[in-house]
Amino acid sequence: MKRTKGIRRLVVVFAALALVAGACGGDDEGGDGDAFRIAIVAPSASNDLAFSQSIVDAITAIQTEMGADAIEIAVSDGLFVEADAAAALRGYAEDGYDLVIGHGSQYGALLSEIAKDFPDIAFAWGTASDTFDLPNVSAYTAAADEGGYVQGVMASMLSASGNIGVVGPVDVGDASLYVNGFVNGATTMGSDVAVNFIGSFSDVTLATEAANAHVANGADVMTGTAQMVVGAVGVADQNNVLWFGTQSNQASLADSIVVSSQVYKWEVVLSGLVDSIKDGTLGGQVLEINLANGGLVIEYNGSYDLPADVRQAADEAVAGIIDGSMSTGT
């Protein structure tokens, strides 16, 4: 009994020390008063080669452009539990950040409440198009169907079996847009596309099995979206199946089979948002990145030898979408 008590005391002391150490070891410095401070709350890792990485890359690009002294960044990632995200958003607002970004469709309800409590702080919600009629909230979204359509056209031309597989998370937001655009692009060119929304953003096992099923069914080209898609890319790599990426450039994952990726360049619209906040307009804007404004870019994998006719068809599709002569069908 005595020995147990001794161990218990030790554990309690150790835990208390760990908590204090954790609290002290925070990332945010006071910073100098002139820097524009941006905080990002994201649901997955900031280097997930997908959703969360896109916003962190964008704000970092803005910082590079405007100067490291002009922009200060704080990131809280991996917050897929909403209570944690709410605490982070509120914490940043209380710390007086100039722009607090909630990068996740699931954060909508949280932002609508928190933004009301801090009318002098600018908030941004992505990917979404609802600002809750609050003057200090902006929303940003991606016309992911546009790049999806272009990649769907390419996928169809590159598929020898005519059989294409899609691995998606949940049928919402930009995932839904991307998949719809992709399916339309591919079916317009005559291919059969099987779509599997696995119902989760993180279940790598299911994403892998979805890809396995597509491959067993004869698919020789695949695409997918959201962070669990890494598993599907692995299957594509092992089976020599071509892959189209979205949200971030996924060529580094599997250099030999990634054809291209639709990369999100949020900085195209967010730098304008930063400027208008500096000028005093805290919110009210609904921003969209698309092919026309350069917020969506098809980045081709240099290591993959893309046939010239496929590239031409893609360029024509991009031009057609930009000038309005082609529709993504969504």
Partner 1 sequence: MSELLTQTAIVATVAAALRLAMPLLLAGLGEMYGQRSGVLNLGVEGVMLLGGFFAYWTALELENAWLGLLVGLIVGLIMGFLNGVISVTLKANQGISGIGVFLFGLGLSDLLFQKIVGTPRLIDPLAKVEIPLLKSIPVIGEAVFTQRSIVYLAFLLVPLSMWILNKTTFGLNIRAVGENPAAADSLGVSVARTRYMTLMIGGLLAGGAGAGIVLTTGTFQQNFTAGRGFIAIALVYFGAWRPIGVMLGALLFGFVEALVTQLKTLELIPVSSQDLANMAPALITVLALVVVSQRFKPPAALTRPFSRGG
In the complex, the residues that contact partner 1 under the rule CB under 8 A are 4, 7-8, 11, 44-45, 47-49, 78, 80, 165, 170-171, 179, 194-200, 202-206, 208-210, 212-214, 216-217, 227-228, 230-231, 233-234, 237-238, 252-254
Tokens encoding 243: 């892959």
Which of 8, 116 has the CB closer to partner 1?
Answer: 8
> Minimum distance from CB of 54 to partner 1 (Å)?
13
Which of 256, 312 has the CB closer to partner 1?
Answer: 256
Nearest Cα to Cα of residue 291 among 259, 327, 255, 244: 327
Which of 79, 99 has the CB closer to partner 1?
Answer: 79
Nearest Cα to Cα of residue 183 among 211, 148, 137: 148
Which of 197, 300 has the CB closer to partner 1?
Answer: 197
> Minimum distance from CB of 204 to partner 1 (Å)?
5
At residue 118's C-alpha, the angle toward residues 114 and 122, to 5°, is 95
CA dihedral 88, 90, 96, 99 (to 10 degrees): 70
> Minimum distance from CB of 83 to partner 1 (Å)?
13
Instruction: Indicate the helix (H) or strand (E) that contains 299.
Output: strand 296-300
Which of 210, 291 has the CB closer to partner 1?
Answer: 210
> Minimum distance from CB of 243 to partner 1 (Å)?
11
Instruction: Report the SS3 class of residue 277.
Output: helix
Which of 136, 180 has the CB closer to partner 1?
Answer: 180
**CA–CA distance, 243 with 241 (Å, rounded to integer):** 7
Q: What is the CA radius of gyration of the chain?
A: 22
10 Å CB burial of residue 137 (0-12, 13-18, 19+) is buried
Other CB atoms within 10 A of residue 325 CB: 9
Largest pairwise CA distance in the chain = 81
Q: At what angle do helices 144-158 and 308-323 cross, to 10 degrees?
A: 150
> Minimum distance from CB of 86 to partner 1 (Å)?
18
- Report CA-CA distances (Å) from 306 to 191, 212, 256: 19, 25, 12
Strand partners, 262: 246, 298
> Minimum distance from CB of 45 to partner 1 (Å)?
5
Instruction: Indicate the helix (H) or strand (E) that contains 238.
Output: helix 230-238
Which of 55, 195 has the CB closer to partner 1?
Answer: 195
> Minimum distance from CB of 270 to partner 1 (Å)?
22
> Minimum distance from CB of 236 to partner 1 (Å)?
10
Nearest Cα to Cα of residue 43 among 95, 86, 8, 3: 86
Which of 131, 328 has the CB closer to partner 1?
Answer: 328
Whether the Cβ atoms of residue 44 and residue 51 lie closer than 8 Å to each other:
yes
> Minimum distance from CB of 181 to partner 1 (Å)?
14
Which of 176, 290 has the CB closer to partner 1?
Answer: 176
